[in-house]
Amino acid sequence: MTEKKTVNRWLVAIMGTVLQICLGTIYAWSFFQNPLMSFAGWTNQQVAWILSLAICFLGLSAAVGGTLLPKFGPRKLAITGILLYALGWVIGGVALTMKSLPLLYVGMGAIGGIGLGLGYVTPVATAAKWFPDKKGFITGMVVMGFGLGALLMSKVIAPAFVNAFTATPAAGGDPVTTWPSVFYFIALALGIPGLIAASIMQNPPAGFVPPGWKPSVAETAANASIPVQPKPCVLSKRFALMWVIFFCNITAGIMFIGFQSPLLQDLLKLEDPGMAPAALAAAGATLIGISSLFNGIGRFFWGGISDKIGRTQTFRLLLGTQILVFVGLVFIKSPILFSVFVCYILLCYGGGFGTAPSFVMTVFGSKVMAVVYGCLLTAWSMAGIVGPQVAARIKDSFPTDPMRAASTTFLVGAAFLAVGFLVSLFVSNKPFAGTCRKA
């Protein structure tokens, strides 16, 4: 292969990461949680459903996108994904103008979520084809972008547009934010660079082999034994166990992604009851930004680690250490320590996403990777509903006792992680033999 093609594959990986950054801005939804509750008088659960629906439709559409990818190609699918996601923000702006929660669910939740799924699966599966020699490293790098999206949104895009469309009434009083305009301009800020990145997506030429790389004899033999059709893979016991592991890790982490800002603000108010709302919101946005860095780095870091110690071993480490952290959070009252623990949780949360694509390729091979990985992302769909809704229900159940609500949330998260850890003990890294009954 020529040097030009070697350069091109890095361009695809970099643009795939840029596209993921644009899509990953949905992870900053907790930035909007309290403001939208105040704006329209909605409850925690009502606003949390937006993130739940977005993640639910992300996983479902990713499964569909995996089957459509071979037919339509990565460029068309990626462009469709980012356009739908931007359209979701536009419809969200219209919904806020009308203060219509159902329309917000349709726009940001369903339409935006479908765009997220189509856009998410495409660069991951495409980059993996270009880098058979660096599966964990490169898929970790690409999905790292999704984790970093929250940093871009919470510390740059959202604050800039909120400041631009916030004014103090002439008669005095509290500043008023024109939230529909904020959503419209967010759509433009994400849609334009996302379209540029999506237009670069393309598959490698037939028979592409990275310069200087040869698959091992064992890997070649293993891939030859794996079914070309994805159905037996998806229906296998091995896939079911991987699905449960992925679901448990996501559910625990996403409970924090949707509520890390409100939880931190509750701790800050206990420490300093007179703290101004603006200062509380700024502290919450800072935590979102910092933790999103760990979310992104975790995808890159753990994906690379899994190349060295194995995919299953990596998931066991992620799940086991988090159990200790979640239990420790029950006894933490310091906002600083809380933030440190949340950052580690997000590091491991991202690590699951960084390891999953290479886990699928290791077990099921590259031929069916797009379809099987897309189906695995349905675990994200279910976790997107369960995690935020459990956290929101607990928080609404103890409106006057935030510490009890937080402790209950942490223990529930630890329980999910414990289930995932136990299941991981029954899964190996061995290539799938093609028998639905084998794990």
Task: Please provide the DSSP assignment of 342-388 as one string.
Answer: HHHHHHHHHHHHHHHHHHHHHHH-STTHHHHHHHHTHHHHHHHHHHH
Is residue 434 included in any domain, yes or no? Answer: no
Mean pLDDT along residues 246-273: 85
pLDDT of residue 29: 87
Mean pLDDT along residues 52-64: 90
Mean pLDDT along residues 227-241: 86
**For residues 298 and 354, is the Cβ–Cβ distance under 8 A?**
yes
Is residue 401 included in any domain, yes or no? Answer: yes
pLDDT of residue 248: 97
Residue with more model confidence, 270 or 79? 79
Residue with more model confidence, 395 or 18? 18
Residue with more model confidence, 260 or 338? 338
pTM of the complete model: 0.79
Q: Which domain range does residue 241 map to? A: 3-424
Phi/psi-derived region of residue 205, left when phi > 0, alpha when psi is between -120 and 50, beta in every other case: beta
Rounded to an integer, what distance in angstroms lies between the CA atom of residue 177 and that of residue 330?
36
Is residue 270 included in any domain, yes or no? Answer: yes
CATH number of the domain within which 97 lies = 1.20.1250.20
Provide the CB-side half-sphere exposure for 294 (13 A, CA): 18
pLDDT of residue 241: 96
Is residue 275 included in any domain, yes or no? Answer: yes
How many domains does the chain contain in total?
1
pLDDT at 226 over 80: no
**pLDDT tens digit string along 324-381?**
999 999 898 888 998 999 999 999 998 998 899 889 988 888 778 888 988 998 998 8
Give alpha helix (H) positions in 41-178.
44-72, 74-98, 101-104, 112-130, 135-152, 158-164
pLDDT at 87 over 90: yes
Of 122, 19, 20, 17, which Cα lies nearest the Cα of 66? 122
**For residues 197 and 146, is the Cβ–Cβ distance under 8 A?**
no
Mean pLDDT along residues 223-242: 80
Rounded to an integer, what distance in angstroms lies between the CA atom of residue 52 and that of residue 400?
25
User: Mean pLDDT: which of 49-58, 202-211, 250-259, 367-376 is highest?
Assistant: 49-58
Is residue 50 included in any domain, yes or no? Answer: yes
Residue with more model confidence, 173 or 50? 50
Is residue 54 included in any domain, yes or no? Answer: yes
pLDDT of residue 217: 58
Of 241, 243, 255, which Cα lies nearest the Cα of 411? 255
Residue with more model confidence, 403 or 380? 380
pLDDT of residue 395: 80
pLDDT at 417 over 90: yes
Record the tokens describing residue 357, joined without a space: 């694509």
pLDDT at 174 over 80: no
Give the Cβ contact number of residue 7 at 10 Å.
9
pLDDT at 218 over 80: no
**Burial class for 31, CB neighbours closer than 10 Å (0-12, 13-18, 19+):** buried
Is residue 293 included in any domain, yes or no? Answer: yes
Which residues sit opposite 177 in a β-bridge?
166
Mean pLDDT along residues 69-95: 95
Record the tokens describing residue 216, joined without a space: 């091992």
pLDDT of residue 427: 92
The average confidence (pLDDT) of the chain is 87
**pLDDT tens digit string along 135-171?**
777 887 888 888 788 889 988 999 999 999 998 876 7
**For residues 72 and 122, is the Cβ–Cβ distance under 8 A?**
no
Nearest 5 degrees, angle CA 182-CA 266-CA 283? Answer: 50
- Counted residue by residue, the chain has a size of 439
Give alpha helix (H) positions in 229-334.
231-234, 237-257, 260-271, 277-309, 311-329
pLDDT at 219 over 80: no
The Cα-based distances of 86 to 119, 188, 435 in angstroms read 11, 7, 42
Mean pLDDT along residues 5-24: 85
Is residue 93 included in any domain, yes or no? Answer: yes
Mean pLDDT along residues 27-40: 86
